Chain A
Amino acid sequence: MSRMNEREKLLYRVQQFGFMTDDIRLFLNTHPACEEAFCALKYFMDAEKEAKEDYEKRYGALTLEGIDGCRGYEWIDGVWPWEVEE
């Protein structure tokens, strides 16, 4: 965590909330009637969306929907997930 740069810290928030939605979703698949889990899913989905927008404002699109109209086609730019920044 300490070795993370500013970009990675913002991305980590997306990864944390994204992981919560991934995990709760798996739980709901076998417990579809659990209201508590469903509320938690909605909460973390919103949080993930917000974190994505924060990241995309500064570092570019994570998905095609994240492309900022004013900045042009930025999908090919930025750091790909397996790359280590120098």
Chain B
Amino acid sequence: MTTPKKSPNSSSKFLLFLGCAIPYRVTSYEISTRKVLAKLGITLIEMTEYNCCGLPIDPVNHEMMVALAARNLCLAEKQGLNIVTLCPGCAGTLRKVNKKLKQNKELRERINGYLKETGLEFKGTIEAKHLLQLLVEDIGLERIKDKVKRPLTNMNVTEHAGCHVSRPADGVDFENPEDPEALKNLIEVTGAKYVDYTDKIACCGAPIAGVNDRIPLQLTREKLVHVKEAGAQALITVCPFCHMMFDTNQPRIERMFNESFKTPVLHYPQLLGLAMDFSPEELDLKGLRVDPTKIVSQIHGAKKGDSKW
């Protein structure tokens, strides 16, 4: 295997790699993604089998991380389809390992030695992508814009894309992590006004929440302060872990620092879905911790306090 089959420039059929965090507690991201992608002409195929991408145990044993990621890639190769993930951690891991295994013969042979016992072999025939990459590369901003039925005009929106969408730049190979554009452009096609804020590309701290209960909350709090100062009415994420920091933990941060943010945090497909005229129920906005009624009312022109959805 020296020249892996090149993946087509764009495709409309992907294997959905769900990872661990989304089925565990961030189903609203999955629900809204499925709705929106179907409308955009993307067919999601379920994986017949999968396991953790490997990232969570990289600090314990790098070799096992590579083996777990490789196993997923092999399973996708058997189904003959490219992978899309909703979690940037999964995407980054699968992309990095895929690249390493394709480039490094010695590593590939060693990992294939382990995989052999499970009847699998890494061949290097597929690609893995994060949802953002699929949206901008395989669908394209123009086609997305065509599906916007209810432009979110007069709404100030900003993003926290999450580090692993583009870092490390060498390995993830997506966009410039110092000046990211994908999510900004995707927010703008909904008709919303994109607002910038201080330290936009800074990390939320989520990965160490299990070993330190203070620093991640301080990092997230500081970002929430900047988002509020910038006048954003909603913060958009594309990562289950970032979402838990900004949405699930927001009331806790408000209590801890005696501050009030009340900033709704939507998964990008929820924002796009609203602009495509899906109902809040269809996008599972109920699954959010911070009440998004205010922005939904603004979009739907409903009366204030009307939260029947």
Q: Do A and B bind each other?
A: no
- Which B residues have a C-beta under 8 Å from some C-beta of A? none
